[in-house]
Amino acid sequence: MASERSKFSSKFGFIAAAAGSAVGLGNIWKFPFEVANGGGAAFVIMYLLFCFLLCFPVMVTEIAIGRKTQKNPVGAFVALGFPKWKFLGILGIIAGILILSFYNVVAGWAFGYFIQLALGNFEIGNQFGEFVNNIGRVGLYGIIFMLSTAYVVSRGISGGIEKASKLLMPTLVVMMVILVIYSLTLPHAFEGIAYYLIPQFSEINFKVVYNALGQAFFSLSLGMGALITYGSYVSKKDNIVSSAALITLSDAGIAFLAGLMIFPFVAYLSNGDVESIQGGAGFIFEVLPSAFESIGPIIGRIIGALFFLLLSFAALTSTISLLEVPVTYAVDELKVNRKYAVWIIALFIFMLGVPSLISNGDSHFFTNFVTYLGADKATNFMDFVGHIGSDTMLPFGGFLITIFTAYIWKKHNLNKEIEIGYPGFKGTLIEKYIDFAISYLCPVVLGIIFILTLLNRFFGVDMF
Ligand code: PHE
């Protein structure tokens, strides 16, 4: 191998970075509104189950492929001796680029809300529509966000990504615990928690299961090679199984805490009638500022600003990982200097995100971009990119990665790589479970999700 590859300097550094990738808008913005949209606690239970039963084995696989090959997702398949599978790495990179293009827009909103609440502008909740349409302003927030992401990535693995994650992740946890404790003291908090945690099993239906699975997969950053990439910087001494378990636990734990933090606020605002508040993309942006306002001008401002700062930090460690995937590719395969690669790719992805940025009302064309077969209203460009990049391509990537590992690269090779940092692995129950999951459970379930998503989103088949 050519020059020494950079490494995360410690196991904690890797876990902080990978958990940082996993914990993001998915946990704090999307998870609560998915809960509110369907199933309440039933959704939460399904989500947790899927994280551990289905996603964890995929995560182990991705990290192992990365560490074995020390390569980006495209180079990894070549290094394993299967150059024909390069396409899977390319798909992953494309998915990552698409996701980052719109993710950065929402991250910019979060950052903008932080500023607005710090300034004491509680009205912003009622002005969400105008806020996202003030293109000059949200464009600027998006630029700031992409610049921060690029800055961290340009500093490399241990000096950039690891350093930032080690600072941001613990800070995020502390802020979150403060907010959870505070929210539990609010009037009606209990009704919020009951809605969130007491399952109504009659509410479990196919749609809840389907959504929970997609959510778990996206939330754990799987299916596009983000963890192959991070895995390629992991030391051979590390135990991949315990690292993956800790990453999964952190991600599920933070999503869980996000619910504990948000539902009491929602219950407080609605005088205990949580069901009356609609879930949707604007959920936390529209609902929470009024809740913060009603707890008082000073404390509400502090709590509100803290909340959106936390959301911005969570998003930042995710955008960093999304950018790192194409950057590692350019550095490994195209032999481009890291700094150069970072700035060019960041600029490109930002430009690609402009249609998403203006697709929330500003541009008629991008706001009403497509009308899917069978749908009664148009989908905007941003959601369209999400439907392709995250809803469709991630499960497809996960499906193919497990097929590849189980039947092409072969399980004993996976197990051999895991054993390097975990000598007692052979013969354990966990080895048997991972082998079973990647051979049967994951390909079948992810394959089904992929097909259903295609049929539903693009061909108007409504199976719910
Ligand atoms: N897991 C991140 C979140 O929940 C999103 C993400 C997906 C990041 C895929 C990287 C890769 O917000």
pLDDT in tens, 151-175: 999 999 999 999 999 999 999 999 9
By alpha-carbon position, which residue is closest to atom 6 of ligand 1? 221
pLDDT digits (tens, 9 = 90+) for 252-270: 999 999 999 999 999 999 9
| Cα–Cα distance list, 388 to 196, 255, 311, 406 (Å) | 30, 24, 24, 26
Closest atom of ligand 1 to 315 CA is 12
Q: Is the CB of 219 under 6 A from ligand 1?
A: yes
Q: Is the CB of 224 under 6 A from ligand 1?
A: yes
pLDDT digits (tens, 9 = 90+) for 74-87: 999 999 999 999 99
Ligand 1 center to 352 CA (angstroms): 18
Exposed e or buried b per residue across 267-304, where buried means at least 16 C-beta atoms within 10 angstroms of its C-beta: bbbbebebeebebebbbbbbbbbbbbbebeeeebbbbb
Ligand 1 center to 84 CA (angstroms): 27
Say if CB 308 and CB 109 are below 8 A apart: no
Report d(CA 237, CA 387) in Å as an integer: 38
Tell me the pLDDT band of 1, cut-offs 50, 70 and 90. very low
Ligand 1 center to 322 CA (angstroms): 8
Closest CA to 400 of 87, 81, 118: 87
Helix locations, 135-282, DSSP H: 135-154, 163-184, 189-197, 206-219, 226-231, 240-269
Say if CB 117 and CB 292 are below 8 A apart: yes
Closest CA to 450 of 402, 379, 405, 407: 402
Closest atom of ligand 1 to 220 CA is 1
- pTM of structure: 0.96
pLDDT digits (tens, 9 = 90+) for 6-26: 999 999 999 999 999 999 999
Q: Is the CB of 221 under 6 A from ligand 1?
A: yes
Q: Which residues touch 187 (CB under 8 Å, ≥6 apart)? A: 268
By alpha-carbon position, which residue is closest to atom 11 of ligand 1? 221
DSSP state of 462: -
CA angle 147, 397, 316 (to 5 degrees): 20
Closest atom of ligand 1 to 25 CA is 12
Say if CB 165 and CB 13 are below 8 A apart: yes
pLDDT digits (tens, 9 = 90+) for 279-304: 667 788 998 998 899 889 999 999 99
Ligand 1 center to 221 CA (angstroms): 4
Q: Is the CB of 218 under 6 A from ligand 1?
A: yes
Which residue bears the tokens 């481009």? 336
